[in-house]
Amino acid sequence: MNNSGPSTLQTAFCGLKFNSPIVLLSGCVGFGEEYTRVSGFSNRDAGAVCLKGTTLEPRLGNQPHRVYETPDGMLNAIGLQNPGVDHVINEILPSLDFTETRFIANVSGSTVEEYFEVTRRFDDSPIDAIEINISCPNVKQGGVAFGNDPAMSARVVEACRKATRKPLITKLSPNQTDIAANAKGCIEAGSDAFAVINTLMGMAIDIDSRTPLIGNNQGGLSGPAIKPVALLKVHQVYQVCRDHNIPIIGQGGIASAEDALEFMIAGASAVGVGTALFYDPLICKTINTGIMRYMERHKLQSVDQLVGTLQLNQQPTAKCGC
């Protein structure tokens, strides 16, 4: 693994040139402008920025409260609030600086037809890649209902594949029995890459009123609390991606360079940062610096040399930890 020569954070993901393996995650950066007013923040610190989940028609989202802080994480149930695909394409994309970073659309829908149509419209736009969100736990129809059913997941991917030749990234749900089997079906249906994982379903209760603290009753748990779950899911999905050269954007609780490195060693070619941005909008600089130091210390030229280098312990792995 040792090489000579300068280290670089640059990497290629589905043929797209990334400045860094970091991807700013959907729902945590609005439509690419969210943190640009924060002094010192730059989209250039990320390899790509994933836009907020977008549907065919505008959506107002769920009733409040939409977010709730938990130990080492947060619950959210935004309900895919967005201005609709045409507004995103006509009003927002022209305002984004495509010289800074790559922009990825995040497509959602209530029907297979809606996923197809939103993807088709993004195909005819400057967007660099399209992420299919079949794992949103905060909407009544579509979302995780599709993502937890392998046959439905494949149907959505197949439909979106017909709508675009741009890189297609399928965002997988952790709220399902066999994430690797689902990934396999999505590869056969035409997925070029995966985002692993979306939020885990959770709940918080006000003990005085005995009511849920989230307006939607339940929400998606994100942040450092979910990192161990996310790492295992990346490891599992990597087992089916490795032979097909399908890259993964690993995500779930990444808040340091060490976290990002763990995800790459487990099999992620790029690493997503979401919840951590809410309390440290400049965290990408810290993570980039830390990854660079690690690469120099280990004499690595490229982060690609780290991907999937996990060496498992030799004893058989029990399926449960009891």
The residues assigned a catalytic role are 136
Residue from 9, 24, 25, 183 in contact with ligand FMN (CB under 6 A):
25
Q: Is residue 288 involved in binding ligand FMN (CB under 6 A)?
A: no
- The window from 91-99, 162-170, 174-182, 271-279 that contacts ligand FMN (CB under 6 A) reads 271-279
Interacting positions 160-179 with ligand FMN (CB under 6 A): 171
Q: Site mask, ligand FMN, residues 115-144, x = CB under 6 A?
A: ------------------x--x--------
**Which stretch in 15-23, 71-79, 144-152, 287-295 sits in contact with ligand FMN by CB under 6 A?**
71-79
Tell me the sheet residues that pair with 219.
202
Annotated binding site for substrate: 52, 76-80, 133, 198-199
- 191 lies in the site for ligand FMN, by CB under 6 A: no
Q: Which is nearer to ligand FMN, 7 or 191 (CB)?
A: 191
Binding-site ranges for ligand FMN (CB under 6 A): 25-28, 52-53, 74, 76, 78, 80, 106, 133, 136, 171, 198-199, 222-223, 226, 251-254, 272-276
